[in-house]
Structures are given as C-alpha cells and as structure tokens.
C-alpha cells in the first residue's frame, strides 16, 4: 500500500496527516495567490481531501493516478513532495516540471502521478492507457482516473470507460462530485440521479459513497482495485463531496449561498475523521494539534524554499520538447533572452 493502509492505526494517522498537509498547502497557495506571488490561476482542493487521500490509501505505491485541474490534493495523497510542488506553483527551476507546468500540470510519472490536467475529462483516457500498459505487460498495478462531476458530460470520458470495460483493463474511475461543474450545479448538467449510474451503460459496477468520509472512499476503491487486479475490469466510484472554496481563487461564487457552504463545512472531512479517531482512542486532541502544527510547518518550509528557489533560465524554454531534438528548436534556442526574460 501507499504507506497508509486505513486498516492500521498508523495508516489512519498518516491519512489524517496527509489531509492536514493538503489543507495547509492549499490554504497557503490561496493566500500567496491572492498576494500576487503565484502566477496564473489555482484551483484549491479544500473540502475534498477525503477523496484523494481515501483513494490513494487504497493504492500501492506504484499504482498510477491521472488527476484533474484540482490536483494538489491528489499529488500529496500520492506522496509527492510539497516542496517541489510549491516550487512548481512558483514557476521555479526545480519544481516538479522545472517551472513549465504550474499548478494545473504537476506530474511525477515515476511516482505514478500522470499529471494534473487543464482539460476537463482528459484524465480517464490517460488512466485507461496506463491500465493498457499494465495489462499488456502483465504488471500487478492499477490506474485511477480522477474526474469531476462536470467531466461526466465529456465524450472522451465515456470513450475511455467503454474501452477499459470492453478490454477488462485494470482501471478505476473516481468521480469527485463536488456539486458544481465550474459555476453550474450538477443537476443542471446531468440527467442521472447518481453520476455512478453511468456505469450501467458499460455493465460495470458503479457505487456512490460519502466523499467526506475517507474510510468510505478507501473501502470502495479497495474493492474496485481488487476487481481490477482480478482482471474483470474497471469500476466507477462516485464520491459526493464539496469544495469549500470557489472553482478558482477569485471566483465570486454567485451560484451558491453562504448557508449552503456552511452546511457542508459542518461535514468537514478532517474534523469528522479526527473526531472518529479520538472516539476510538487512537488520537488525542493534543496529538491532533501536533499533527496540524507539523503539517503547517512542512508547508511553511515548502513555501520558504519555493520563494527563495532560483528561477529557470529563459533558454530552458527550449528544453524538453522532444526526446530526439529537432534543428528548428535548436535554431530558435540560439536567440534565447539572456537577461531574465525582459527585452
């Protein structure tokens, strides 16, 4: 397992630590974006932590995930280092993508993370492809494609699920239903009651679980993973969740009212998991605070590192296009700016 099997106390504490780390990362990213330090735009995972962590808790370290535009939580859940993630958000040379990806494209293929993705619905075909490699080479792995509720309307999602189910590939499709596809509520975008109902079209299991409950998500994904490894094909797991922040930072959220947000905040996945662990005698309030402080410190260190890390050289814009370089780009590279990008 990924080092935090929810069947053990240590694993449950680790899951809580990762949820806290995600929360701290995204709160910091939101603040630094508002301050204008982080370029571009960011989509925060706050409120949805149980889905990414519950899913990755059910995976082995070498399983694959393909993420979405809201990918920070998936990265941390999969075990990526927040330091190089934050450096990537800052566009720094030793960010995960050497500054070429940013928030929406963080990837670490060697760690099984096939990339956040700026195209809604692009993750499932990627997961089907990874599952195809696994199946073709008889490897004991699975591939998870995360998608949002909005992506369920995308044709390529259904094509990916159809291919994976027709070929019995070891894939799992995790729908993070956070109730809004960008600014439009889920019931205005889909005709089914549960998004997992779409599984019927592919004759595969589809299950809807409480996405604010890390254990419920992990149980569903564990079952899906067993099925995938048994060679009988993919499963759709829909996790009902909620994003506490806007679609993107700066979103005025005219499409929902404060009361609705408050109602969901009362179901905060971190608070409820913490309380459950305390009730079971596996955690004390002091230990929780210590975990929280550690998570915040990890992110403070990551932030400090990212702020101080060197920028990429302008000439690096010409690197990494191809494994086998082409003369066209080599010629353009000879005219690279040498003064930090200003001309």
Partner 1 sequence: MAQAGVEQTETMTVREAIRQGLREELDRDEDVYMMGEDIGDMGGVLAVTGDLVDEFGEERIRDTPISEAGFVGAATGAAATGTRPVVEIMFSDFMGVSMEQIMNQMAKMRYMFGGKTEMPVTVRTTEGGGMGAASQHSGTVHAWIAHFPGLKAVAPGTAASAKGLTKAAIRSNDPVFVFENKMIYEQQGEVPTDPDFIVPIGEAAVEREGSDVTVVATQRLVGESLDVADDLSDETSVEVIDARSLYPLDTDTIVESVEKTGRLVVADESPLSYGIHAEIATRAMEHAFFSLDAPIQRVGTPDTHVPFSPPLEREVVPGGDDVRDAIDRIA
- Check binding of 177 to partner 1 (CB under 8 A): no
Q: How far is CA 230 from the centre of its chain?
A: 25
- Which range in 72-80, 136-144, 213-221, 253-261 contacts partner 1 by CB under 8 A? 136-144
Q: Return phi, psi of residue 171, to 5°.
A: -120, 155
Looking at residues 51 to 70 of the shown chain, list those that interact with partner 1 (rule: CB under 8 A): 64, 66
Identify the residue among 127, 142, 151, 221 touching partner 1 (CB under 8 A): 127
Describe the crossing of helices 9-34 and 214-229 by its angle, rounded to 10 degrees.
110
- Which range in 28-36, 126-134, 198-206, 277-285 contacts partner 1 by CB under 8 A? 126-134
Identify the residue among 13, 98, 223, 253 touching partner 1 (CB under 8 A): 98
Question: Which residues, other chains included, contact 219 with Cβ-Cβ below 8 Å and sequence gap of 6+?
Answer: 58, 209
- Check binding of 313 to partner 1 (CB under 8 A): no
Identify the residue among 132, 192, 232, 333 touching partner 1 (CB under 8 A): 132
**Phi/psi zone of residue 233: left (φ > 0), alpha (ψ -120 to 50 degrees), beta?**
left
Q: How far apart are CA 138 and CA 155, in angstroms?
A: 29
Identify the residue among 14, 48, 108, 249 touching partner 1 (CB under 8 A): 108
Identify the residue among 27, 41, 156, 294 touching partner 1 (CB under 8 A): 156
Looking at residues 68 to 97 of the shown chain, list those that interact with partner 1 (rule: CB under 8 A): 95-97
Q: How far apart are CA 333 and CA 314, in angstroms?
A: 9
Whether 26 and 76 have beta carbons less than 8 Å apart is answered as: no
What's the min distance (Å) between Cβ of 130 and partner 1?
4
Size of the site for partner 1 (CB under 8 A): 50
From 81, 96, 156, select the one nearest 123 (Cα to Cα): 156
- Which range in 10-18, 42-50, 111-119, 266-274 contacts partner 1 by CB under 8 A? 111-119
- Check binding of 322 to partner 1 (CB under 8 A): yes
Q: What is the dihedral angle through the alpha carbons of 151, 153, 154, 160, rounded to the nearest 10 degrees?
A: 80
- Check binding of 138 to partner 1 (CB under 8 A): no
Question: Which residues, other chains included, contact 140 with Cβ-Cβ below 8 Å and sequence gap of 6+?
Answer: 229
Whether 126 and 66 have beta carbons less than 8 Å apart is answered as: yes
Identify the residue among 323, 335, 339, 343 touching partner 1 (CB under 8 A): 323
- Note the residues at the interface with partner 1 (CB under 8 A): 64, 66, 95-101, 105, 107-110, 114-115, 117-119, 122, 124-134, 136-137, 143, 155-156, 159-160, 162-163, 166, 319-324, 326-328
């Amino acid at each position: 397992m990924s080092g935090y099997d929810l069947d053990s106390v240590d694993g449950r504490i680790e899951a809580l630590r990762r949820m806290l780390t995600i929360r701290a990362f995204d709160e910091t990213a939101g603040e630094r974006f508002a301050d204008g330090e982080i370029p571009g735009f960011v989509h925060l995972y706050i409120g949805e932590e149980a889905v990414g962590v519950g899913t990755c808790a059910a995976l082995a370290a070498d399983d694959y995930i393909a993420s979405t535009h809201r990918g920070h939580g998936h990265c941390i859940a999969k075990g990526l280092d927040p330091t190089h993630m934050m450096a990537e958000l800052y566009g720094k040379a030793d960010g995960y993508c050497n500054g070429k990806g940013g928030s929406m494209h963080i990837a670490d293929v060697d760690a099984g993370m096939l990339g956040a993705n700026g195209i809604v619905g692009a993750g499932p075909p990627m997961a089907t492809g990874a599952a195809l490699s696994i199946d073709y080479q008889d490897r004991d792995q699975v591939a998870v494609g995360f998608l949002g509720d909005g992506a369920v309307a995308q044709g390529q999602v259904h094509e990916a699920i159809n291919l994976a189910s027709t070929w019995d590939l070891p894939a799992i499709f995790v729908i993070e239903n956070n109730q809004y596809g960008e600014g439009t509520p889920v019931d205005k975008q889909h005709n089914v009651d549960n998004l997992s109902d779409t599984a019927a079209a592919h004759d595969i299991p589809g299950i809807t679980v409480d996405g604010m409950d890390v254990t419920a998500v992990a149980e569903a994904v564990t079952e899906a993973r067993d099925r995938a490894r048994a060679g009988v094909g993919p499963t759709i797991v829909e996790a009902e969740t909620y994003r506490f922040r806007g679609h993107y930072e700066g979103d005025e959220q005219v499409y929902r009212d404060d009361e609705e947000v408050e109602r969901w905040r009362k179901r905060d996945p971190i608070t409820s998991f913490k309380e459950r662990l305390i009730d079971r005698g596996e955690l004390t309030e002091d230990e929780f605070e210590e975990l929280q402080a550690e998570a915040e410190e990890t992110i403070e260190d990551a932030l400090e590192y990212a702020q101080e890390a060197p920028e990429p050289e302008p000439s690096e814009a010409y690197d990494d296009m191809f494994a086998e370089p082409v003369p066209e780009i080599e010629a353009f590279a000879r005219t690279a700016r040498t003064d930090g990008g200003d001309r």
